[in-house]
Structure 1
Amino acid sequence: MDTQHDNALTRALAGIPGPHPPSGVIHVVIPHPSRFTVVGNHLAQHAELSLLAIGIAVHIQSLPAGAEVGIKALAARFPEGERAIAAALRELEAHGYLRRTRIRLANGRMVTRTVFCNQPGAGQRGGTVSVPQRQGAGPETRTPAPAPTRVPEPIAVPELTPVPEPFPVPETPCPPVRLPSRTAPTPQRRPLPHPRALIPELRQAASALLADLRRHAETLVLSEQDVAELVPGVAAWLERDASTDAIRHALTADLPEPLKHPARLLRHRLTTLLPPPLPGIHDLAPPRRAPVTPFQTCDGCERAFRSHDPGHCRDCRALHREAA
């Protein structure tokens, strides 16, 4: 089967002067007549800067002097968050491209002055500082002349008031601080429940139930000492009218795997899952309602009033007393 060729790509490459590399990127270079920024390869191909830091540095170089390049301004312009932009700015500071200084103005307000250098360390290497040309002008190639370079005129900078250094405070020895322990205090273990009277019948039934647990769960194998210690807890359940099936289900349901200490698990369940005593018959009886005084009809005015005996209402009784 023949290899398929992209005719559109072939036609597009025909208009690009060659030779073309066999692989990798192919550059289409079109000169910029206006709105361009010169970026050095030391920044565009920096081996230690992240791609976000390189992009922010290129963006800052393209802005005019006086533009806002703070974290919030960049976060409002680009989709990256403030945390990522702050980390990228710290990268540029670490490699000398960016310098941020907090200063106090004459009116007392603190501001941050940001200085961006397109070639870090050029002044230390004996290079010259170039002034960016008017935007839109094409790049010029000049041969450096042996004549001394012209010193640029000083730029008027607002007068800054130096921040006074704080007075030294004598160090006072602080007492050692005892840090709280990271481990939470171990809660006190609740005691195993006991019946009011451990009669022989309860002891025998509790011992038999504990020894029989390994028939229902193979991991619940208890020693004679474990059975003797857990008997009061099972007896307390039996004293509260819990059936043997209910006790067995509470002790064998949802066992952890692997079970390393069966006696400890049974002790915990007998203590924390202990049911309350069954309520008595009088506790379950409905509450008695208070007696209600019946209604009577007044013999004089025939109005209704509450009374255990028939007769007159309060108003009629008052009238009869006045008449008498």
Structure 2
Amino acid sequence: MDTQQNTALTRALAEVPGPLPTSGVIHIAIPHTDRFTIVGNHLAQHPDLSCTAVGIAVRIQSLPQGVEVGIKALAARCREGEKRVAAALRELEAFGYLQRIRDRLPSGRFITRTVFCNQPTALVRSGPTAPQQPAAPAPRPAPAESPAQAPTSAPAQAPAPAPTPPPPLFAAPPAPLFVPLVPPPTAPKPPPAPLPRPDEPTPELDRAATALLSDLRRHAPQLTLSETDVRQLVPGVAAWLERATHPDTVRRTLTTDLPHPLRHPAKLLKHRLTALLPPPLPGAHDLAAPARPRITVTPFQTCDDCDRAFRSPTPGHCRDCREHRKHRKHREHRSEDTRTAA
């Protein structure tokens, strides 16, 4: 059996055109007649895609239309786990090979379609393939002329067109074809908000919250909670009651417009207690109108010397009279000093 395999391999190597390389891979290309998929080198030799992403892309490209290609479906077909499959799908989305679009059916229901493009760069160029330029016609040889008809100088020939450079092996990552309205299913979800708790828990609040949660099944039978669920939700109801919310308001908020069927009543109540928490009631000083600032007006005074009106908190002299009296006192002091010196 080994001899037959070696003989077949030797015969196939002998049919490889050209001399065989001394190192590296040797390709034995046998044409496919059925069950084959054409994969471009831009995907098979992509420098920025991991081998897992390339393999997942080839697997998706080989599947027929309508086959499920979600994370769980691909993980069931491949040996890679869901985490590696999800990471590979994110890589293919980043480079335009995979797109998820939301579409609305005639019935009004929205669905998510998964689209795989084998040549995303060609799709961005608004066509499946780049248009090819027609080849320039080859110049026809001029007929031979007799020496008598030959011109004295040969006409100038038109310059040959510059050769078109070959396209690059790998194109740049294509721009996104659309802006998704919703994050993809593989996007990380933000952590849920914590259940509110009262600032000052008291036994009275705990007792009232426990009674309110235990009584919900009388108003909505689908909100029948276990003792564990009641103990976990008590701090959220206590936070509502601490903010002066009436128990009927809390009960109406938790029991109105319930989904059908309700599979997780405790999760629904936790969401409503967290997302619909009212703010604390404002105090009396918060509702009081702000006091208007008092503006102090300086009264008018009458100057004792010139009877001129001027603004001053106390009676006296205007500015001009004060300057005049100041200069007069200064001259009197200088006169007294001169007489003393004499």
The TM-score bracket by the shorter chain reads 0.3 to 0.5
**TM-score, with normalisation over the residues of structure 1?**
0.42
Structure number having the greater helix percentage? 2
**TM-score, with normalisation over the residues of structure 2?**
0.40
